Amino acid sequence: MNRLRTRLILVFLVATLLPLGLTLWTELSLLERSLAPLLDMSSLSSALESTGRELYLQSSEALRRDAAGGRAPAKHLAPEQAAMFWERGEPDEFDISGDGGDELDYYVRGKGEVLKYSRPLGVKLGDLRKQIARVSTIQESDLRRGFSRTLLAIAAVLWLAALGALIFLAARISRPVRNLTEGLSRVAAGDLSARVPPGGGDEIGAALRAFNRMAGQLEQARDRLINVTRLATWQALARKMAHEVKNSLTPIRLTMEEIVSRRGAVDDAFLEQASQIVADEVNTLERRVRAFSEFASEPPVIPAEIDVNAMLVERVCLLKSAHPEVAYQLRLAPGQPRAVADSDLIKGVLTNLLENAAEAAQPGGVVMASTAVANGTLSIEVHDSGPGLSAQARSTLFEPSISFKKGGMGLGLSIARRSALLCGGDLSALEGELGGAAFRLSLAAAGDHGSNGHGNGGRAS
C-alpha cells in the first residue's frame, strides 16, 4: 500500500509545482515592477548631489565676492577658534553650519586675526548630503536579491509544510486500506478468522466493519457446512449399519423362538440361559438400530412460534421423576419469550441436554436451566455440577459415535445439534457456572419482547 501513498504524493507534486512556479514568476515580475520606482532613487540622488554641489559652489563664489567687496558683514573669531584655523595654514576656507547645514561660513586670514563671513543657503545642505549618502549605500542588485530570496523562502516553507501534511494524511489514509487488503488476502488464503482494526465513521471505516462482518459470517457458514458435511457422511454410514443389523435380527429371533418351542427336548436351564443371552443381545442390537435410524432419518421441519419458558418447565417436570435425587434450578427470562423453531425437534434437544446433565450431576448434584433474549436471539442454557469436560471431550463433543459415558451411543449430541441447525439455530458448549459442563441452544427470537439478559426465576428441587 506504499504505492498508494507514493501516488498521492506524486499527484500533489504534479498538481502544485506548476501553479507554484507560475505564481512565483508572476510575483517576481510584479516585484520587479514595484521596485522600479524605488531603484530610480539612485539616479535621483545623483541629480540631487550635483544640484547640491552646484549650489554650494555658487554660494561660495558669491560669498567670496561679497566679502571682497565689503558687502557681507564680518565677524571676528574667538582666539581658540582662530588658533585652529591658523594651524591648518589655509588662506581661506568654506564650511557649512546652522540648522541642518542651511548656512554657509567663509573664513579669511586677516592681519593677525581671522574673519568670518556667513550667508544663508535656503536649503539644509547638510541633511541633504546625509540622505544622499544613505541612498547611495543601497545597491540595486542587493535589494532585488533580498526581496526575491525572501519570497522564495516563504513559498518554499509553505509548500514543504503542505507536503508534510499530505504525507501524514496519505499515511493515515493508506494504513486502513493496507489492513483491509491484508485481511482480504488472508481470507482468500482460507483464514476466515482474519479481522481488521475497526476504523472511524467515514467510508473506509464502514468498509472495515463490513469486512469484519463478512469474515464472521463466512467463518460461521464454513463451520456449519463442515458440521453438515460430517453429519451427511455419518448418515450414510448409519443407514448401512442399520440395514446390516436388521438383517441379523430376524434370524436370531427365529432361532430363539425355535429353541424355546423345543425346550422339552433339551435342558431347560440351558435353554433359558441361552434365550436370556440372545434376548439381551437382541435388545442391544435393537437399541443400536434405533439410534442409528434416528440419526440417519431426515424428519420434516415445521417451524412455529413456541413458548420456550413453558417448554423448558415441562421438560424439567417430566425428567424430575426419573432423577429425584438431583436438584433442578430454573432461571427464566421475564415474560413469555418465544422462538421460531420445530417444537418436536426442540423438545428432543432439551430432553437430551437435561438427561445428560442429570446423569453427569449424579445424586446430590444440581442442574440449572435458564433462558435469555438478546439481539434477536433466544438462548437456552443447561448447566450441571458434574465433573465437567476435558479438552479432548470438548473437541469431539458433536462427533457421531464418540461417547464419554457408559452405555452411550455417541449420537445424542450429534442429533441434538443437527436438530438445532435444522431449526435455524445452533448448539454449542460453554464454561459451566456450576463447575461442570454447560451447553447453549441458540434460536431465532420471535419478535421483540423487550427483554435482554437473564431474568430472576425460581428453583425446582
Q: Are residues 222 and 336 in the same domain?
A: no
**With pLDDT > 70 as the criterion, what percentage of the chain qualifies?**
68
Is residue 190 assigned to a domain? no
Q: Quick check: 300 and 427 in contact, CB under 8 A?
A: no
Q: Quick check: 376 and 445 in contact, CB under 8 A?
A: yes
> What pLDDT is stored for residue 453 in this prediction?
40
Is residue 189 assigned to a domain? no
> What pLDDT is stored for residue 456 in this prediction?
40
Summarize pLDDT for 80-121 with one digit per residue, the tens.
777 777 777 777 888 888 787 788 888 888 777 778 888 887
Q: Are residues 168 and 254 in the same domain?
A: no
Q: Are residues 402 and 426 in the same domain?
A: yes
User: Which letter does DSSP use for residue 456 in this model?
Assistant: P
**With pLDDT > 90 as the criterion, what percentage of the chain qualifies?**
20
Q: Quick check: 94 and 60 in contact, CB under 8 A?
A: yes
Residue with cell 585652529: 84
For residue 310, which of 359, 352, 369 has the smallest C-alpha distance? 369
User: Which letter does DSSP use for residue 264 in this model?
Assistant: G
Q: Which of 10-24, 49-63, 234-248, 407-421 has the lowest mean pLDDT?
A: 234-248
Judged by phi (left if over 0) then psi (alpha if -120 to 50, else beta), residue 198 lies in beta
C-alpha cell at 27: 510575483
- The number of residues in the chain equals 461
Q: Are residues 352 and 398 in the same domain?
A: yes
Is residue 213 assigned to a domain? yes
Q: Quick check: 132 and 53 in contact, CB under 8 A?
A: no
The pLDDT of residue 180 is above 80: no
Q: Are residues 82 and 143 in the same domain?
A: no
Listed residues 278, 296, 314: the one ending a domain: 296
> What pLDDT is stored for residue 159 in this prediction?
75
Is residue 243 assigned to a domain? yes
Could you tell me the CA-to-CA distances from 148 to 130, 135, 345, 404 in Å, in that order? 28, 20, 88, 90
Which tops the pLDDT comparison, 19 or 57?
Answer: 57
> What pLDDT is stored for residue 200 in this prediction?
66
C-alpha cell at 128: 541633504
Is residue 148 assigned to a domain? yes
> What pLDDT is stored for residue 284 in this prediction?
62
Q: Are residues 340 and 423 in the same domain?
A: yes
Listed residues 296, 320, 336: the one ending a domain: 296
Q: Are residues 451 and 338 in the same domain?
A: yes
Quick one: average pLDDT of 349-353? 92
Q: Quick check: 42 and 73 in contact, CB under 8 A?
A: no
Is residue 129 assigned to a domain? yes
Domain around 92: 42-136
Quick one: average pLDDT of 333-362? 92
Q: Are residues 326 and 430 in the same domain?
A: yes
Q: Are residues 383 and 264 in the same domain?
A: no
Total number of domains in the chain: 4
C-alpha cell at 367: 442442574
Residue with cell 464502514: 206
Task: Tell me the one-letter amino acid at 373.
Answer: V
Is residue 159 assigned to a domain? yes
Is residue 197 assigned to a domain? no
- What are the two backbone dihedrals, phi and then psi, of residue 190, each rounded to the nearest 5 degrees? 105, 0
| pLDDT band with cut points at 50, 70 and 90 for residue 268 | low
The mean pLDDT value of the chain amounts to: 76
